[in-house]
Structure 1
């Protein structure tokens, strides 16, 4: 997440339920993806899946071309639910604070963060400090924002459970050693989910609280590839939903799997 001082907003971080009811959905509004030329796609098997497959695409000559960055990811421990992003509001199960679901839909990637002073990426980068927290308390005026706690009233930050330096607060945890901000819930609607990132996984079998996690080599490759001038986007959908929306949303054809 980013510090409030540089105006970067984010969303909720990181029992099987019935899959959300979904209709054939309308196409994206004109121009929604037209000015983007980098796209990260994650596909899950179904709405309650905790794992997915990542693909990367770059638009060349007005066509999405497959890029080499791909691999396994882990998702929310309860699966997926519709998030709030660039896509029109959808019918079905909606992402809420603390539900353990990763937000599905199309989102901007506004920047990177990590523990080190610098990171090998062209994306805007925030080096996190011990006092930096993403505020996941829905009643706080700072909800879904990453801030230095010392700069604000204690009552606004005291109950946040999202330290951005997990290594300092959570026994050396390296999950946020490097990551990307997924801009879910950009209007910071209370209770709609906060602090959503791409970050390092604990293991290939460890689901998240709602983020997308992966191995370090894969995330490092994405960070090196992403270019803010190309307005990178992130798309997360179950496979069936992706196939339904491929034509309407003009999504790239997924590479065939062995």
Structure 2
């Protein structure tokens, strides 16, 4: 499957807003999300509604978490407004739990639907049918991990 990554490539030391995809091995968050109804995933599923945010404001205690309610500020994402990207998505557990750092290490790394012809802001995106295949295949009982890295350094993992 072809995937898109952050417009600035990969980073071993990602920081908030750098448009890079973090290298490493990551688990998948316990809840999958989407603007559309549950496509038949084995994880918990939350259908995104208005006022669902991914908190990307490092000045708040909820940094790098899902929140429902008022805008948490900063670069927080209004999840219900990103289409096609957030029709379906899984959370890549990068910087979860949050590691305090200055500058902040980054937030909101997702596996989501590709926005045709565009790189991501640090996420990994797939064609919708490919993404749905992956999301339905993932089984939380198997504790799946995702390796993010350029091919040239995959031997690190």
8 Å contact from structure 2 (residues 34, 86) kept in 1: yes
Aligned equivalent of 1:179? 89
Aligned equivalent of 1:207? 119
Kindly tell me the number of residue pairs found equivalent between the two proteins: 153
Say yes or no: does 1:236 pair with 2:155: no
Counterpart CA distance in 2 for 1:158 and 1:109 is: 25
8 Å contact from structure 2 (residues 57, 73) kept in 1: no
For structure 2, the 5+ residue unaligned runs are none
Aligned equivalent of 1:73? 3
The equivalent position to 1:98 in structure 2, one of 17, 20, 38, is 17
Counterpart CA distance in 2 for 1:220 and 1:119 is: 7
Counterpart CA distance in 2 for 1:238 and 1:119 is: 30
For structure 1, the 5+ residue unaligned runs are 1-70, 83-93, 168-172, 250-258
TM-score (norm 2): 0.90
The equivalent position to 1:148 in structure 2, one of 68, 74, 77, is 68
8 Å contact from structure 2 (residues 39, 132) kept in 1: no
Counterpart CA distance in 2 for 1:158 and 1:126 is: 22
8 Å contact from structure 1 (residues 119, 125) kept in 2: no
SS in 2 for 1:224: helix
Counterpart CA distance in 2 for 1:115 and 1:165 is: 6
8 Å contact from structure 2 (residues 113, 131) kept in 1: yes
Aligned equivalent of 1:161? 76
TM-score (norm 1): 0.56
Aligned equivalent of 1:121? 41
1:201-234 CA distances to partner (integer Å, 9 max, x unpaired)? Answer: 111x311100001101100101111111111111
